[in-house]
Amino acid sequence: MSVKRAIKTSSKTKSKYMSKKTIAIITGIAFALAYALFKYMSVPFDLDNLEYVISIPSDAKNRKVNLNEPLSAFNIPLNARAIEYVEKKYVIVQSMHRGRLVASVFVFPYHYRNSEDSPSGLVLGFEIYNMYVSPRYRGKGVSINHLYRTFMLLKKIYQADNGIPSYIVLHVSPIDKDMEKAYALYRTNGFVHGLFTENGPYSLRKRSEVFLERKSLESVIENSPYYSSEYTGERSASGDKFLTMYTDINTFLRSAKINAYSKNEYNRHKERATRLKESLLKRFIYTKNG
């Protein structure tokens, strides 16, 4: 009996020992993996060391862009039809950091003509839509850096400013909760001209003369009835309700590279846009589509 007990006890002890050893090994592996993951994720974020992916409408076979985040952020349906439409219409430029999406922008290149449809009025316009920065990378100066690298690429691909004036065009919308931030950011990076339009850049496609008759954004805003007077009438669904901003491509590239604006300058433009936003929302009805 005593021998059997001895064997039984020995078996239990061995089982406990093996169990503890297994737990220790698993725990060690888990700690090692956690440490490796921590080291991997703690690599400093470097704007100069990002991977860039570009999708061009004509290049249907080599699209490797991540559209889930940017489409969701702008309330665009994540279905095959919407994705195909976006891929076939826009040049899409995205930046990645260790496999994660950092930023994305949709650009629509278009040859603008003047109202008389004269060849002398031809202008190459790059319309910016859906500039998106992933939440984890916001506040790191990503958006302008991303646009700078985007237009360095597109300038080469489209031979921009080679005989034909080339401009970057965008609009800011009052229903965007960050409109004032967007305005201040673009204004301090070379977008110093603009006007009010009904449909953003689209409204200028047959009005290229506006690029030759440039008006400063400050004068356009401060001399508009939207900015200088109170409004108590009915809100309208139509009218020049979007502030459209533009700059020639080289001015933007120089401004973005130097990045010389002050915080006071940024805040001054932000305050102006906040006042404008409040006035526009009193006058016009906006939807997510315009």
- Does position 177 have pLDDT exceeding 70, yes or no? yes
Residue pLDDT, tens place only, 195-233:
999 999 999 999 999 998 899 999 999 999 888 778 888
CA 273, CA 131: separation in Å to the nearest integer? 19
47-283 maps to which CATH number? 3.40.630.30
Locate the domains of the chain by residue range.
1-42, 47-283
pTM score > 0.95 for this model?
no
pLDDT of residue 24: 65
Helix (H) or strand (E) holding 171: strand 166-172
Phi, psi (5° rounding) for residue 9? -65, -40
Please state the length of the chain.
290
